Structure 1
Amino acid sequence: MNYKYLFSSIQVRGLELKNRIIFPAMGTKMATEDKFVTKQLINYQVTRAKGGCGLNFTEVCSVYGKAAPKKFLSISEDKYIPGLKELTEAIHEAGGKAGIQLWLGGLAVGSDQSQMIVIPSPIPVPGTEYTLPGASLETIHEAVEAFGAAAKRAVEAGFDVIEFHAGHNYTPHSFLSPYFNRRTDEYGGELKNRARFLLECIESIREHIPINMPLFMRVDAHDDYLEGGLTIEEVIEFCKMAKEVGVDVLDVSRGNFSSAAIKYEVPPIDLPRGFNVENAARIRRETGMLTVAVGRINDPSQADEILNTNKADMVVMGRAQLADPDFCNKAFEERTEDIVRCVGCNQGCYDGFVSTEMPFITCLRNPALGREEEYQVSMTLNPKKVLIAGGGIAGLEAALQLKKRGHYPVLCEASSSLGGQFALAGEAPRKGEMKEAALAIAEQVIKEGVEIKLNTPITEKLIGELKPDEVFIAIGSTPIELKIPGADLPHVTNSHDVLAGKSRVSGKAVVIGGGLVGLEVAEYIHDNVDSITVIEMLDKVAKDLGELRNICVMESLYAGGVQTVTNARCIEIKKDAIVVERLGNVEEISCDSVVVAIGSKSRSFDSVRIYCEEQGILVHVIGDALKARRALNAVAEANEAVRAIS
């Protein structure tokens, strides 16, 4: 077997896991408003258990009734046991093991203003005269008892494993970190006092579970971006204390939501794969404890190497299994070329979780996430010939799903290659995995036997020759042109041509447009120019980036000395300067090269639409051809359109 370490069993107390892969606790928004398990959440977990995962954890589950926010799971009362038991039984029936993550959320509970925020020390609320109070001794003691009571309920509900969440800025981590904990009583000061609350919680949990039941603990390797916060040396000392009172396994994570370190909690594509593994390795080495590695581990070879080199005993592969719930089975069967890989875009998992517009999380690579029952592939009883115009991510996804359902897709691409703008986006710094994903889905489409015609733009004549039953328009978008004097000068180009290698930029460069594409182009050209200035007409740059990618991109631009000018509208381009109108003033910014990155517009296909209407051919418009947006929308629309075909 190629991945013998990854798929070897492991014994933790009385529990044997069939492999070393863990599906971790991740927020989903799939719980009910009043914190109960739903059928949707069960299907979500069961699909990954059927996919071969060794251990499935619930998302964070509140233990303390006074601090249990809505839309998050809770185990703070007996009434939650039946639903949680239904979840564990379903996971067991699917061949998996079930773990529950016991949680007291601290500042994160502020999402529900009716609930108590349990923190060690007072914190002023920005923009108000109010200060959040530190926890009283009574509250601390109640919380300790709540962890024990929750553990007892978890046993009744049939969980195999308990995980105590002591990281990510939540209440236990806040007590442990000197950045948050300024107490002067027995729960503050030196490390052993700051650890006291956590150790009491662990003891309370251990007292209420069988001796052969494993207890995991999620910890941060150290505090990032928090001056005077936890060091890895302190974390190691604390983990040794935790071992003495009953913790068996350390789940070594990283990050906090009080600073830019939140990027480490759901690490985007900008962070290196396996960026936290060495921290886990050191903690494992110095504590002698079983350890779980976490952080952009999305490839079976990568995971197997981590285990083979004794850097960890297990690995968290969370978003890898969001993107492909059959990840484990495919890796075990050595069908790695069939794995649909997470690309760290964060568009559906993190951005979807914090969005008020999305009812629950989703995934760019897997629109079936959260719709597992609804999206089961059903073979058509009426196979149709479907012409797909466009070989970008939307067209490729449509072709693949049509073929899987038993239809006869014919994909026509106007250029000489597949992948479209998703592959082009992969040319930007740190985004190579997106290009790899675009090429991989193209290979999968070829492997499935889809008929592909390159260098074949869609025309009425082509439709007449192929005689399709239905047509998918997925021809994407084209850069918006700047309609100002000087826009046609020879030193002016656009973002697409720069990323595609068709245009070279040198000297003092100006990028017009401070959205995602403009900023990525600025990074892309950085090493080949003398200076870069990004011009944005809005009041800030990067408004169309998700929160975590925004942090990474802006840090990179700052480190590279890229200048940004906001509230500026470009009104003219000269041979050696651009002219902008800014806050009522007209200014000139000298430059040698200009890159226009002000967005994209859908390509026109009116004649094709009219021809299809005349011929009675149903047309589906998907992706940027409908409206220029994110790849997340393109893939989702492709799947919805395919499902709509009878």
Structure 2
Amino acid sequence: MYETIGSPVNLGNVTLKNRIVFAPTTLGVPNDAYLERIEKIAAGGCGMIIIGDVPVQSMPFGNNLYTESGFAFYEKLAETAHKYGCKICAQLHQDDTDLGTLRQYAPQVKAGKLTQDDLRQMINDLVGPYVTNMPVEKVHSIINAFGDAAVLAKKAGFDVMQVHGDRMCGSFASPLFNKRTDSYGDSLENRARFLLEAVEAVRKAVPDMPIDVKLAVRMEQPQYGKAGFTEDELKTVVPMLEKAGADSFHVSLANHASLSDTIPPANHPYFHEEGCFLGFCDTVKQYTNLPVCGVGGLTSPAFVEEQLKTGRIDCAAMSRQLLADPQWTEKVLSGREKEIRRCVRCNKDCLGGMMRHEGTHCIYEKGGK
């Protein structure tokens, strides 16, 4: 009944056993709980898991590929996914938070004088000056780090590399943030250069590995998202990325606005429909024959099958649905569709838990309906 969902698909020289992908997700839980969550999702039958926000540079906090403990953690994630025949992808990521400037506000945050919403707005407000004034030597250093991180990710056992086209890459892409006048600013080609060179750096470092590009799309009418490229700019950018070495695309709304836009609840004023971001995939599909992965409130097996069968998308990425029921894929493919715990897109304990610094969870974990 769901033959397309269960059919294999090639990303470069890597074959996924089916078309379901766990989308990159900030889980915000300790490493043991993170590993347990990933194991449940891999055991649940999906074709690939994307591990979100793998830093391309050494960081003083959290996991990264440059420390012994961080490398071991990523190595364990790859080993865990492979145990169930699931491929694993490293989302190579560079944050665009101006930590140096932000530190001066730490006392106000600790004293409760700045709310989390205030802090998020401040972080976004600092992005433009940070990107615009970044010395070109630092730009080149970060771009080269994408290649360095890819080598380590391959060594850790990852099967696919994803270049995160949002955050730093997306901020350079957007004239709303990027006011540079050198070769990394002004024209579309210059604004796209950071992302293009990051892809090229990965391709040079690991020439035999598939490269997926997360494309961040900025809407203008109505306005949603501030980073990334507009839909009209994709006709220029997508072929350039393909030439730079991309093997596939993961398409979503750009960030730097309300998180309830990029992770929209069922009552969102604009993105309330299932498959709410698939219109961006329609645009990308006009300019490439490479596989395109769609995302956006996907829960219904019948709906997902239709989008895959008609070729609208080649893979379907889910986050909240696989948190609600890690066995979604296995249940669909074994005729147990009625047993699925469907995500209701309430955002109470997923986005809500993340914003409360409690970790990304699901109402079903507490017996919710």
TM range (shorter): 0.7 to 0.9
1:216 pairs with 2:206: no
1:212-291 matches, cutoff 5 A = 213-223=209-219, 224-225=223-224, 230-257=229-256, 259-260=257-258, 262-270=259-267, 271-291=272-292
Instruction: Report the AA paired with residue 351 of structure 1.
Output: G
The structural deviation recorded for 1:179 is 1.2
Give matches, 1:234-633, under 5 Å. Answer: 234-257=233-256, 259-260=257-258, 262-270=259-267, 271-356=272-357, 358=358, 360-367=359-366, 397=367
Of residues 65, 71, 75, the one that matches 1:75 is 65
Cα deviation, residue 124, structure 1:
8.5
Q: Distance in 1 between matches of 2:163 and 2:315?
A: 17
Q: Percent of pairs identical after alignment?
A: 29
Query: Letter of the aligned partner of 1:137 in structure 2?
Result: V
Higher relative contact order (CA 8 A, sep 6+): 2
Secondary structure in structure 1 of the residue aligned to 2:360 = coil
Q: How many residues align?
A: 343
Structure 1, unaligned runs of 5 or more: 32-37, 115-122, 368-396, 398-630, 636-646
Q: Once superposed, what is the RMSD of the aligned Cα atoms?
A: 2.6
What's the offset of the Cα at 1:76? 4.3
Q: Displaced runs of 4+ in structure 1, greater than 3 A? A: 68-71, 76-79, 108-114, 123-128, 223-230
Displacement of 1:6 after TM fit?
A: 0.9
Distance 1:79 1:111 in 2: 29
Partner of residue 109, structure 2: none
- Distance, in Å, in 2 between the alignment partners of 1:291 and 1:80 is 30
Q: d(CA) in 2 for partners of 1:248 and 1:126?
A: 31
2 CA distance for matches of 1:125 and 1:6?
39
Equivalent AA in structure 1 for residue 327 of structure 2? D
Aligned to 1:163: 162
* Cα shift at 1:94: 2.3
> Per the alignment, in what secondary structure is the counterpart of residue 287 of structure 1?
coil
Displacement, 1:204? 0.8
Residues 53, 126 of structure 1: alpha-carbon distance in 2 compared, 3 angstrom cutoff = closer
- The 2-side partners of 1:97 and 1:254 are apart by 24
Give distance in 1, aligned partners of 2:70 and 2:281: 34
TM-score, normalising length: structure 2: 0.86
Q: Could you list the runs of 5+ residues in structure 2 that have no partner in the other structure?
A: 105-120
Once the two structures are TM-superposed, the CA of residue 288 in structure 1 deviates from its matched residue by 2.4
**Partner SS state of residue 364, structure 2:** coil
Give the superposition deviation at 1:156: 0.4
Q: Who is 1:84 aligned against?
A: 74
Q: Is the 8 A contact 2:217 2:228 kept in 1?
A: no
Shift of 1:111: 11
* Residue 125 (structure 2) pairs with residue 135 (structure 1): no
Q: Report deviation, 1:229.
A: 7.7
- The answer to whether the 8 Å contact 1:222/1:235 transfers is no
Deviation, 1:285, is 2.4
Q: How far apart, in 1, do the equivalents of 2:218 and 2:133 lie?
A: 23
Q: Under a length normalisation based on structure 1, what TM-score does the superposition of the two structures give?
A: 0.50
Q: Does 1:180 align with 2:156?
A: no
More helix by share: 2
Task: State the one-letter code of the partner of 2:204.
Answer: E
Contact kept in structure 1, 2:320 and 2:343, CA below 8 Å: yes
Instruction: Look up the equivalent residue of 1:222 and give its one-letter code.
Output: R
SS of match in other structure, 1:91: helix
Name 1:104's counterpart in structure 2: 94
Superimposed CA distance per residue, residues 290-311 of structure 1 (whole angstroms, 9 cap, x where no aligned partner) = 1001101111111111011111
Distance verdict in 2 for CA 1:227–1:349, change over 3 Å = closer
Please report how far the alpha carbon of residue 126 of structure 1 lies from its aligned counterpart in structure 2 after TM superposition.
Answer: 9.6
C-alpha contact 2:225 2:255 (8 A) present in aligned 1: no
Displacement, 1:237?
A: 1.6
